[in-house]
Amino acid sequence: MTIQSKMIVDKDFKLAEVDPRVYGSFIEHLGRAVYGGIYDPEHPTADENGFRGDTLQAVRAAGVPIIRYPGGNFVSGYNWEDGVGPKADRKRSLELAWWTTETNQIGTNEFADWAKLAGSEVMMAVNLGTRGIDAARNLVEYCNHPSGSYWSDLRISHGYKEPHAFKTWCLGNEMDGPWQIGAKTAVEYGRLANETAKAMRWVDPSLELVACGSSGSSMSTFAEWEATVLDLSYDNVDFLSLHQYYNNHEDDTPNFLARSLDLDQFISSVAAVCDYIKAKKKSKKKIYLSLDEWNVWKTQGTSRADQLWQVAPPEFEDEYNMEDALVVGCCLITLLKHADRVKMACIAQLINVIAPIMTENGGPLWLQTTYYPYMHASLYGRGTVLHPLITSPVYDSKDFTDVPYLEAVSVYNEELGEVTVFAVNRHLTEGMEFTLDLRSFKNVSVLQHTVLEHEDIHASNTRSNPGNVLPHNRGNAAAGEGSVTALLPKASWNVIRLKVNS
Ligand code: AHR
């Protein structure tokens, strides 16, 4: 048995250009993300700076345009000055977000070096938990001011003559969360974000600034927080952040696969709040969205007693399976459907901590199931999103009604003359006969139909079995007159790349 679905795309129905920064990621001083993940001086592939070559290679292969750093909850207790200057002089600090010892062997300059090797921009975050305007503006001066001032000259004395020119900055992290060091009320944070933004921009007017939205849509202060923060900072910030993680703790796969509908609703709601404040202020300025933490997150943290004050203990090392890859795929499609509003997004995180890339200290690297949809979207989802008109059978689940079995979107890359379709078949037992109506495109041919599927929806890649779930190019997409047909296997992620002539 198969089910039928259809999508119509037209080159004239442009939704928005994809900002490549929606394929961003995140590295926090947490678990083995930094120490063990990017920095492992004893590793056979390490360079003279101690950076693992295999990790860099995997990050480069995914084309990660921007990486948020250094946190996360970590940033809310971080003294950035502890992480610059001669390594031998750097303090070991008690790190209160994750109750570990921070050696400070990697700091701002080392991360800038690493990001350059990875081919990524840095999205810096400043500490608005224990610190404020002064530390933030000094950090901007240290990183971005050319020379001739105390902090810029200090950077030069540390061996970095050229400024890092970091453009995108987060004004704190999850400041609404009671777990945050220095958590604030919306009024306290909105005022601080506004004043910090002003001072940072007075140092470097070219900055793009992201204010903290809620830590998730389930926060009791959600929406009210966004409205208050923006009311107090509207003219001085450019983006509002969203954070959202999903899991399948209830072991209900159809419901889990529908979670991207929640993300869709979350994005629309935050956009509505931004526009409410825009209307209230009679402003012409539009606030864009930065979904700067999103992913599937399954594990609970290890208990504090087990790891108290260790250096880089393993933490949140989720093993992702086939259904997790489908949820990540559905979330990526959802982001693209909001390409007119979501201009930045960071899959959280990148290496070893709830991550698509896993490493063993001193040992091998392997790629999780979730790496593949993320890499495919990043590599092929560049261009213009076309409004998708979809017809699909639907189902109801515990938390959702009318969940379409087909989740899909297409991106038109005019320069290359290519259309790429990303599609998930949510059906767990039936293949889907998919018809793509490409009425405005001529001479359509199929370049590649890549599929990620597995008989066992719980199958994953592990250190001992890293090739268990791999994409293949044996999808059967076939071009006809202005259309393409394909079988989307049950519970599969599909990338159909087409050569077109408009
Ligand atoms: O990504 C892990 C943590 O999740 C981050 O530190 C925090 O911002 C969020 O709660």
Which residue minimizes the CA distance to atom 3 of ligand 1?
72
- Give me ligand 1 centre to Cα 397, in Å: 28
Active site residue 174: yes
Q: What is the pLDDT of residues 86-96, one digit of tens each?
A: 999 999 999 99
Ligand 1 center to residue 464 CA distance, Å? Answer: 28
What pLDDT score was predicted for residue 301? 72
Ligand 1 centroid–CA 412 distance in Å is 34
Of the pLDDT bands very low, low, confident and very high (cuts 50, 70, 90), residue 481 is: confident
Q: Which atom of ligand 1 is nearest to the CA of 245?
A: 4
Mutating to test ligand 1, I would choose from 243, 291, 300, 350 the residue with most ligand atoms within 8 A of its C-beta, which is 243
Residue 214's alpha-carbon distances to 290, 496, 500, in angstroms, are: 12, 35, 42
CA of 73 to the centre of ligand 1 (A): 6
Catalytic residue among 293, 315, 323, 407: 293
Give the C-alpha separation, 198 to 45, whole Å.
43
How much distance in Å is there from the Cα of 406 to the middle of ligand 1? 31
Could you report the per-residue pLDDT of 242-256, keeping only the tens digit for each?
Answer: 999 999 999 999 999
Q: How many Cα atoms occupy the beta-carbon half-sphere of 151 within 13 Å?
A: 17
Residues whose CB is less than 8 angstroms from the CB of residue 417 and which lie 6 or more positions away in sequence, other chains included = 499, 500, 501, 502
Q: Which helix (H) or strand (E) holds 332?
A: helix 322-337
Q: Summarize pLDDT for 34-87 with one digit per residue, the tens.
A: 999 999 999 999 999 999 999 999 999 999 999 999 999 999 999 999 999 999
Percent of the chain scored above 70 by pLDDT? 99
CA-closest residue to ligand 1 atom 7: 72
- Average pLDDT of 230-246? 98
Residue with CA nearest ligand 1 atom 4: 72
Atom number of ligand 1 nearest to Cα 28:
6
Band of the pLDDT at 303, cuts 50, 70, 90?
Answer: low
For 301-326, the DSSP string reads: PPPHHHHTT-SS-----PPPBHHHHH
Ligand 1 binding site (Cβ under 6 Å of any ligand atom): 28, 71-73, 173-174, 215, 293, 348-349
72 alpha carbon – ligand 1 mean position (Å): 5
270 within 8 A of 226, measured Cβ to Cβ: yes
Q: Which residue's alpha carbon is nearest to atom 6 within ligand 1?
A: 72
Q: What percent of the chain has pLDDT over 90?
A: 97
Between 299 and 500, the higher pLDDT residue: 500
pLDDT tens profile 140-174:
999 999 999 999 999 999 999 999 999 999 999 99
> Among the atoms of ligand 1, which is closest to the Cα of residue 71?
6
Is 188 one of the annotated active-site residues of the chain?
Answer: no
- Ligand 1 atom at minimal distance to the Cα of residue 26: 1
- Ligand 1 closest atom vs CA 316: 2
Atom of ligand 1 nearest to the CA of 72: 6
Nearest CA to ligand 1 atom 9: 72
Q: Calculate mean pLDDT across residues 321-337.
A: 98
| φ/ψ of residue 395, rounded to 5 | -140, 165
How far away, in angstroms, is 10 Cα from ligand 1 center?
39
What average pLDDT is seen over the chain?
A: 97
Pick the residue whose CA is nearest to atom 2 on ligand 1: 72
Ligand 1 centre distance from Cα of residue 255 (Å): 24
Reported as a single tens digit per residue, the pLDDT across 358-372 is: 999 999 999 999 999
Ligand 1 pocket check: which of 293, 294, 315, 353 to mutate, most ligand atoms within 8 Å of Cβ? 293
- Residue from 28, 110, 141, 174 carrying the catalytic annotation: 174
Residue nearest to ligand 1 atom 5, measured at CA: 72
Full-model pTM: 0.97
Distance, in Å, from the CA atom of 70 to the CA atom of 34, rounded to the nearest integer, reads 9
DSSP E strand stretches across 237-369: 239-246, 288-296, 342-348, 357-359, 365-367
**What pLDDT score does 502 carry?**
65
Q: Which residues 6+ apart lie within 8 Å of 492 measured at CB?
A: 326, 424, 425, 451, 452, 453
Residue with tokens 């107090």: 232
The SS3 of residue 226 is helix
For residue 268, pLDDT over 80 is answered with yes
Average pLDDT over every residue of 443-465: 97
Mean pLDDT of 403-408: 98
Nearest residue (by CA) to ligand 1, atom 1, is 348
Please state the rounded mean pLDDT for residues 387-408. 98
AA letter at 211: A
324 burial type by CB count under 10 A (0-12 exposed, 13-18 middle, 19+ buried): buried
Q: Which of 173, 296, 315 to mutate to test the pocket of ligand 1 (most atoms within 8 A of CB)?
A: 173
Mutational test site, ligand 1, from 102, 174, 347, 354, max ligand atoms within 8 Å of CB: 174
